Amino acid sequence: MPESSKSISTPFIHHANATAATLKQIGEIHSIPYVRVVAGVAILIFETVQSVRTNKDQCAALIEQTVQLLGIVIDLCAGPSVTLSPVYLDTMGKFAETLQKIEAFMRTQQDMGRLKRFFRQQENTVQLEDCKMGLRQALDTFSIKISLTTTGDLADMRLASDHRHHDLVEKISDSYSFDDRSSLTSIGSNGDSSSDQALLLLSGP
């Protein structure tokens, strides 16, 4: 009886390849270590997975996690200037190694017969767990970086908004008398809470 398995749809493979191609372009623009290797191995994985014959559920799960991580790496590396600390560069290198292990694992699932699969069951289990652990570690580390970056961006947005508000009050005040200017400055001070609320609405999910 053929084993039931999760199918990997063609549209999803197209999406995965497009994601990897985008990351490859970013790596070429910014010359960030390991990024082009990550993208290149990912593309090879997406080709290999389409012809696996065994452990399809596990392979599909690895593909989904890989695409998720590629999206996170794109978020980390996109922008006019990108600088990653040694910790994240080390994680990027380990992520590349994990992807190479995933590609090797999937190649063994392409033409493995039932008897050979039986004898290699323990080895497959060890390889699979190693791949899963590598992806989890990369996800944990990169997610922390994304969280810190998002928090920093929000702080920058709030600071920029405060500056714009202050400049606007000063420009308007210059057009009025001293008494009017005092009144406007008071109004501007009382309006800080509404400005903060508007910023939070703009930066919300």
Higher pLDDT, 197 or 180: 180
Q: Kindly state the tokens that stand for 175.
A: 């057009």
Minimal CA–CA distance to 98: which of 87, 110, 90? 90
Q: What's the confidence (pLDDT) of residue 193?
A: 43
Q: What's the confidence (pLDDT) of residue 115?
A: 66
Residue-wise pLDDT for 47-63, tens only, equals: 999 999 888 999 999 99
**Identity of residue 144:** I
Q: What's the confidence (pLDDT) of residue 146?
A: 73
Q: Kindly state the tokens that stand for 53.
A: 């014959």
Q: What's the confidence (pLDDT) of residue 17?
A: 95
Q: What's the confidence (pLDDT) of residue 40?
A: 96
Reported as a pLDDT band with limits 50, 70 and 90, residue 174 is low
The structure's pTM equals 0.68
Q: Are 90 and 34 in contact (CB under 8 A)?
A: no
C-alpha pair distances (Å), 154 with each of 139, 147, 197: 22, 11, 13
Report the distance separating Cα 62 and Cα 91, nearest Å: 18
**Rounded to 5°, angle at Cα 98 from 137 and 123:** 105
Residue-wise pLDDT for 152-173, tens only, equals: 444 444 454 445 444 544 544 5
Report the distance separating Cα 179 and Cα 171, nearest Å: 15
Domains in the chain: boundaries: 10-149, 157-203
pLDDT at 14 over 90: yes
Q: Is 25 exposed, middle or buried (0-12, 13-18, 19+ CB in 10 A)?
A: middle
- Kindly give, in sequence order, each residue whose CB lies less than 8 Å from that of residue 59, ignoring residues fewer than 6 positions away: 8, 49, 52, 105, 106, 109
Residue-wise pLDDT for 72-122, tens only, equals: 999 888 877 777 889 999 999 999 999 999 999 999 888 766 666 666 788
Q: What's the confidence (pLDDT) of residue 97?
A: 97
